[in-house]
A = this chain, B = another copy of it.
Amino acid sequence: MEKRLLDRGVRYTPARRVVVEVLADSPGPLSAAELCEIIGAGMPLSSLYRSLSVLEAAGVVAPHLGARGLSRYELAEWLIGHHHHLICLECGSVDDVAVPSHYERQVEAIIAGIGEMASFAPSGHAIEIEGRCARCR
């Protein structure tokens, strides 16, 4: 992954490394504010955003645009695998969920069918499942 940054002439600095590590440990995408909280002091929001945008440009993190005009960030799918999101309407948390491959194959087929119907060329998809998470039941 470091190579990916070096190829773009940017460094894999401690600040960027910590962002990647925190995201790697998270069960789901995190907002900038959440990241900042977890990383702790000594990380100004502006630097955080700069790290995120460098990492995004390098294809290492991907933004997930969500509730109340705030983005959540997670590692790109080539790092953590294809997955979908469980959004808790109670506490607002967003967790990743991997979908068994026989389900995912059905999803692919459905997406392809819809694309054909609508003369739309699909290149990616996301399923957002809303409800109540285990903690809020």
Contacts and interface: CB of A to CB of B under 8 A. Distances in A.
Contact of A130 (B89, B117, B123): B123
A114 B122 contact: no
Kindly name the residue among A67, A126, A133 whose own CB sees the greatest number of chain B CB atoms within 10 A: A126
Copies of the polypeptide in the assembly: 2
Given A89-B123, A130-B124, A113 B118 contact: no
Interface string A115-129: 101111111111111
Nearest to A99: B114
Interface residues of A, number: 42
A129 B114 contact: yes
Interface string A91-130: 0000101011001001100110111011111111111111
Interface of A: 65-71, 84, 86, 88-89, 95, 97, 99-100, 103, 106-107, 110-111, 113-115, 117-134, 137
